[in-house]
């Protein structure tokens, strides 16, 4: 009887402890999101994507709810990237070419979190798994573990005093690092200046990219029948692509972390069929009658294939 009592006590303690860890992980992530928006900070960031490592200077200025992010490359190709609320501006120093994107899809160059983490509990577990030093600063290590194999594992190292992210990593299903963002040094400042993108003085061409008006997804030429749990339709557009007048249907899907794009266009014999992979991004293409279907996203190969094979033409 005594043994049974202690066994029940031990199991209940483990359950409470696990619940506390999950709660603490969500609290830490919520504090991180607030700190990223409210604080002024700068440092050196290393980005590992598609097997390539790039180091850049990073600046975040904030005042009265207004934010600005800035990246300066330290190696070729030299460029400066500025993110304001309504646009992302990029100046390529060697060619003086400027690209101004008026449709920023994220809120940060470092990491974006969904607004409501509670809604993600059906498909992800959030846990504190330890403490480590990054850039000589102590951090909480948070894992965002999917409950299925349709999405990647994410891990975030959050500095323990200011709750800024010092390291973010994306892993495939075997535990291999696919993408990584890590600060090699970080400094929190009282204030940082907002920098005006004075790209009008450049001698190169200025290319503007504008957001298209979203359309109802029932206008798409296709129907998506297979979606992993948690994925939802975000927006749909139909527009010309590939420097032609042929329309391309584009449907964006997301589970809050992972994004998947579905493209449908006229069949092109030059386009590759089947599965293609570049770093964390997988794509799967197939033909349906006279149409070319491509499903692409930062998800495992299984996910894009699963979605693509369930897509049918709308009749």
**pLDDT-derived band of residue 137, with 50, 70 and 90 as boundaries?**
very high
Bridge-based pairing of strands 97-101 and 206-209 is parallel
| Residue % of the chain over a pLDDT of 90 | 58
Q: Describe the chain by its helix, strand, coil percentages, rounded to 5.
A: 20, 45, 35
- Is 80 exceeded by the pLDDT of residue 41? yes
What rounded mean pLDDT belongs to the chain? 86
pLDDT of residue 93: 79
Say what the pTM is: 0.85
- Is 60 exceeded by the pLDDT of residue 225? yes
The pLDDT of 255-277, averaged and rounded, is 87
Apex 63 CA angle, 61 and 65, nearest 5: 110
Contacts of 239 (CB under 8 A, 6+ apart): 212, 247, 248, 250
Q: What is the pLDDT of residues 267-304, one digit of tens each?
A: 876 778 899 998 899 999 999 988 999 999 999 999 99
Locate 148 and state its tokens.
Answer: 């299925």
Long-range residue pairs from 130-137, CB within 8 A, at least 24 positions apart, any chain: 131/160, 132/157, 134/159, 134/166, 134/167, 134/182, 134/183, 135/43, 135/166, 135/182, 135/183, 135/184, 135/185, 135/186, 137/161, 137/166, 137/186
- Look up tokens 């964390």; give the residue: 280
Q: What is the pLDDT of residues 178-223, one digit of tens each?
A: 999 999 999 999 999 999 876 555 555 777 776 666 667 778 889 9
Question: By C-alpha distance, which of 86, 73, 42, 45 is closest to 60?
Answer: 42
């Amino acid at each position: 009887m005594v043994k049974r009592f202690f066994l029940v006590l031990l199991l209940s303690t483990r359950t409470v402890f696990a619940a506390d860890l999950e709660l603490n992980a969500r609290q830490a992530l919520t504090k991180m999101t607030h700190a990223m928006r409210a604080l002024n900070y700068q440092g050196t960031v290393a980005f590992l994507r598609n097997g390539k490592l790039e180091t850049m200077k990073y600046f975040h200025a904030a005042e009265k709810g207004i934010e600005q992010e800035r990246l300066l490359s330290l190696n070729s190709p030299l460029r400066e990237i500025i993110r304001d609320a309504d646009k992302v501006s990029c100046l390529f120093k060697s060619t003086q070419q400027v690209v101004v994107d008026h449709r920023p899809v994220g809120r940060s160059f470092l990491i974006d979190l969904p607004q409501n983490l509670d809604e993600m509990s059906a498909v992800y577990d959030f846990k504190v798994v330890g403490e480590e030093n990054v850039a000589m600063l102590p951090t909480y290590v948070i894992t965002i573990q999917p409950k299925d194999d349709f999405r990647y594992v994410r891990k975030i190292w959050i500095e323990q005093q200011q709750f800024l992210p010092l390291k973010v990593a994306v892993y495939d299903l075997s535990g291999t690092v696919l993408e990584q963002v890590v600060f090699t040094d970080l400094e929190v400042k009282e204030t940082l200046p907002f920098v005006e993108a004075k790209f009008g003085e450049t001698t190169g061409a200025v290319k503007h990219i504008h957001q298209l008006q979203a359309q109802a997804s029932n206008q798409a030429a296709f129907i998506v029948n297979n979606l992993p749990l948690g994925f939802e339709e975000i927006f749909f557009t139909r527009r010309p692509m590939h420097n032609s007048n042929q329309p391309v249907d584009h449907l964006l899907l997301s589970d809050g972390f992972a994004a998947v794009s579905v493209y449908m266009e006229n069949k092109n014999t030059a386009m590759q069929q089947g599965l293609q992979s570049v770093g964390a991004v997988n794509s799967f293409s197939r033909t349906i009658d006279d149409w070319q279907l491509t499903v692409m996203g930062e998800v495992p190969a299984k996910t894009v294939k699963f979605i693509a094979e369930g897509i049918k033409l709308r009749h």
